[in-house]
Amino acid sequence: MWISCLHPESTSSGPQALRSVLWQDVYPHIKLWEFFQLQVDEAVDQFRTQLLHGTKPDQSQTGGKKDLRTYQDPAYHRYGNTLDMDSALQTFVPHSSAPQHVEECCGWLREKLNELNEEQHAIMQQHLEKATNCIVGNVVYEHLADHGPKLGPVSRENPLVTRYFTFPHPDSSLEQDLQLLEQPDQSQRLLAHNGWVMGDDPLRNFAEPGSQVYLRRELVCWGDSAVAASSRPERSWPNLYVIEHCSGYLMHHVYMRPGSQVYLRRELVHDS
């Protein structure tokens, strides 16, 4: 898709070029925040229907408190989060059943749900900032730093980043991989590698749902072992696999030159 090339001349400009590719070309394309958001229009439509039917909130669920709640989709589909309808009916109450009052109330809910989606977007930006630092730090240490192993050109044997997942599927495009996640008979064969996290509790299971270790690229990965705690890790945390793929996005098109030069061919081709 992109044929432009960057030719940084130092260890400072090279990593910065990699950061630019991640933020400008990769992250906007994979839109990881969508795995933590909900469909606002759909939720508002359901809320409007409940108001028009005169539905009242279940007090045993809300405790009479105005506290809007949403739930994370356990399968982490894009825009898969759901609205707790009882909490919405408890929090946003129209002045009357008149259509204009119902629409006014729906507008309040829409504004709040958009705010919640924006919050999730901001949280994901923080995760991606951490992931970027870990990716760039890994590249600098393994390929550029004098105190590192100096692995040389990026290749299948020495990839841009350590592979976090093992899977038996052939190389494919990002779009094809995203479709793969919707095929349980195929996606359940993905295995997450094990490892350790600097400064973390060694007794904590960082591969459980809710952990962002893989997403934030904080795992010092062991390439010869895999997590066996779940038979379907990619169904529980598809965003983890997508961030792994985005790193593979660039692997074949980044290589190191003598003199600490980094050449990036900005071309969206998957090679993991």
Kind plus residue range of the DSSP H or E element containing 165: strand 165-166
Tokens at 217, concatenated: 């690229």
pTM for the model: 0.77
Tens digit of each residue's pLDDT (9 = 90 or more) over 65-108: 999 999 999 888 899 999 999 999 999 999 999 999 999 999 99
Cβ density class 29-63: b for 16+ within 10 Å, e for less: ebebbbbbbbbbeebbeebbebbeeeeebeeeebe
Tens digit of each residue's pLDDT (9 = 90 or more) over 147-168: 988 888 778 788 888 888 877 7
Report whether 247 contacts 215 (CB < 8 A).
no
